[in-house]
Amino acid sequence: MEDLRPLVQQALENAGDFGDGCPQRLGDAMRYALLAPGKRLRPALVLMACEACGGKLEDALPAAVAVEMIHAYSLVHDDLPAMDDDDLRRGRPTVHIQFDEATAILVGDALQAEAFRHLSEGIDDPSRAIEAIRVLASAAGASHLVGGQSDDLSAERDQTESKQRNSDSINLATPDISSLRTVEHLESIHRRKTGALFSASLAMGAILAGADQKSRAALSDYANDLGLAFQVVDDLLDYTADEKELGKRTGKDVDRGKLTYPGLLGIEAAREKAEQLVKSARSHALYFGPAGWRLTNLADFVLERTL
Q: Is residue 269 part of a domain?
A: yes
pLDDT of residue 43: 97
What is the mean pLDDT of the segment spanning 238-257? 61
Q: What is the pLDDT of residues 177-189, one digit of tens each?
A: 445 568 888 888 8
Alpha carbons 20 and 52: distance in angstroms, whole number: 38
pLDDT of residue 242: 60
Q: Is the pLDDT of residue 222 over 50?
A: yes
Give residue 99's domain range.
Answer: 5-165+178-304
Per-chain mean pLDDT for the chain: 87
Query: Could you tell me the pLDDT band of residue 254, with boundaries at 50, 70 and 90?
Result: low
Q: Is the pLDDT of residue 163 over 60?
A: no
Q: Is residue 264 part of a domain?
A: yes
Alpha carbons 206 and 200: distance in angstroms, whole number: 10
Could you tell me which residue, 11 or 237, shows the higher pLDDT? 11
- Residue 79 and residue 96 in contact, taking contact as beta carbons nearer than 8 Å: yes
Find the helix or strand (DSSP H, E) in which 260 lies: none
Q: Is residue 289 part of a domain?
A: yes
In total, how many domains does the chain have?
1
What is the mean pLDDT of the segment spanning 269-279? 93
pLDDT of residue 156: 72
Q: Is the pLDDT of residue 30 over 60?
A: yes
CATH label of the domain that carries residue 134:
1.10.600.10
pLDDT of residue 249: 59
Q: Is the pLDDT of residue 175 over 50?
A: no
Count of other CB atoms within 10 angstroms of residue 166 = 10
Q: Is residue 111 part of a domain?
A: yes
Q: What percent of the chain has pLDDT over 90?
A: 66
Alpha carbons 94 and 77: distance in angstroms, whole number: 10
Alpha carbons 116 and 62: distance in angstroms, whole number: 10
Count of other CB atoms within 10 angstroms of residue 264 = 15
| Range with lowest mean pLDDT among 41-45, 80-84, 153-157 | 153-157
170 CB-contact burial (10 Å; exposed 0-12 / middle 13-18 / buried 19+): exposed
Q: Is the pLDDT of residue 162 over 70?
A: no
pLDDT of residue 165: 52
Query: Could you tell me the pLDDT band of residue 101, with boundaries at 50, 70 and 90?
Result: very high
pLDDT of residue 245: 57
Q: Is the pLDDT of residue 276 over 60?
A: yes
Q: What percent of the chain has pLDDT over 70?
A: 86
Alpha carbons 102 and 104: distance in angstroms, whole number: 5
Count of other CB atoms within 10 angstroms of residue 290 = 7
Q: Is residue 173 part of a domain?
A: no
Alpha carbons 274 and 3: distance in angstroms, whole number: 26
Alpha carbons 153 and 163: distance in angstroms, whole number: 15
pLDDT of residue 155: 73
Q: Is the pLDDT of residue 248 over 50?
A: yes
pLDDT of residue 273: 93
- Residue 55 and residue 208 in contact, taking contact as beta carbons nearer than 8 Å: yes
What is the mean pLDDT of the segment spanning 228-249? 75
What is the mean pLDDT of the segment spanning 209-232? 94
pLDDT of residue 199: 94
Q: Is residue 113 part of a domain?
A: yes
Q: Is residue 72 part of a domain?
A: yes
2 CB-contact burial (10 Å; exposed 0-12 / middle 13-18 / buried 19+): exposed
For the chain, count helices (H), then strands (E). 16, 2
Find the helix or strand (DSSP H, E) in which 88 lies: strand 88-89
Give the up-direction half-sphere exposure of residue 61: CA atoms within 13 A in the CB hemisphere. Answer: 17
Closest Cα to residue 305, out of 250, 240, 254? Answer: 240
Q: Is the pLDDT of residue 204 over 80?
A: yes
Measured over the CA atoms of residue 126, residue 128, residue 129 and residue 131, the dihedral's sign is: positive
What is the mean pLDDT of the segment spanning 85-99? 93
Q: Is residue 171 part of a domain?
A: no
Give this prediction's pTM: 0.85
